[in-house]
A = this chain, B = another copy of it.
């Protein structure tokens, strides 16, 4: 029995993660300042190499965990980038992943030690290699996914207000949404629990907090809802 396809060329496989977060200032991505050549000192996506006995999803998870300390994060494979000289050191094909994290949960110290930093998606530095393109494509995918599955919730804290949810969707879609219409569309999905508790930070009146109801969501998902915002 054959044990190698001997004539074929082998290549390096990298994984680069587009990590989205959301806070009061809007939608952000986590970038890292490279501390090795080439392009040392420049900003880059967080990435690493695939190991011999590792599946791509596992590599993405490992890399995310290394730099943020987080586990159980929503991640999705996006695209394989293969331009010949995309990495000047050595032929490297990179598979991009996007991750959605609750910006409050990550390990701030870890990030700092790695010279990583959050940047607003509309005000991020220029990135090395083809990473700008990777980010652009990730934003497109995030927009699309948002209209098909309520993955936006991954970006919010456990308890959130309608306003936060609205602002998140506005940031993702980068357009203004009508408050009343938004609320009734979200409510019609029946995947939120309205709590008896109010958030008093944002206003005098206070606004009700909600949680995301995973069970109801899973139930609904069979029937494939679309969210037309």
Q: Which A residues contact B (CB, under 8 angstroms)? A: 1-5, 8-13, 36-38, 49-57, 77, 79-80, 82-84, 89-93, 95
Contact present for A4 and B90 (CB under 8 Å): yes
- A4 to B, closest residue via Cβ: B90
Contact present for A10 and B8 (CB under 8 Å): no
Contact present for B82 and A79 (CB under 8 Å): no
Contact present for B11 and A92 (CB under 8 Å): no
The CA of A36 and the CA of B82, in the complex, are separated in Å by 28
Contact present for B92 and A13 (CB under 8 Å): no
Contact present for B80 and A56 (CB under 8 Å): yes
Contact present for A51 and B9 (CB under 8 Å): yes
When distances are taken between beta carbons in the complex, the residues of chain B under 8 Å from A5 are: 12, 49, 89-90, 92
When distances are taken between beta carbons in the complex, the residues of chain B under 8 Å from A56 are: 80, 82, 93
When distances are taken between beta carbons in the complex, the residues of chain B under 8 Å from A84 are: 53-55
> Can you give 16 A-B contacts (C-beta < 8 A)?
A2-B38, A2-B89, A4-B90, A5-B49, A5-B90, A5-B92, A8-B49, A9-B52, A10-B11, A11-B11, A11-B13, A11-B50, A55-B82, A55-B84, A77-B80, A80-B95
B13, B51, B89: the one contacting A3 at CB < 8 Å is B89
When distances are taken between beta carbons in the complex, the residues of chain B under 8 Å from A37 are: 1-2
- A81 to B, closest residue via Cβ: B56
When distances are taken between beta carbons in the complex, the residues of chain B under 8 Å from A90 are: 3-5
Contact present for B95 and A38 (CB under 8 Å): no
When distances are taken between beta carbons in the complex, the residues of chain B under 8 Å from A92 are: 5
- A226 to B, closest residue via Cβ: B228
Beyond A2-B38, A55-B83, 20 additional pairs, beta carbon < 8 A: A1-B89, A4-B89, A5-B49, A5-B89, A5-B90, A5-B92, A8-B49, A9-B50, A9-B51, A9-B52, A10-B10, A10-B11, A10-B12, A11-B13, A11-B50, A11-B52, A13-B13, A13-B93, A55-B82, A56-B93
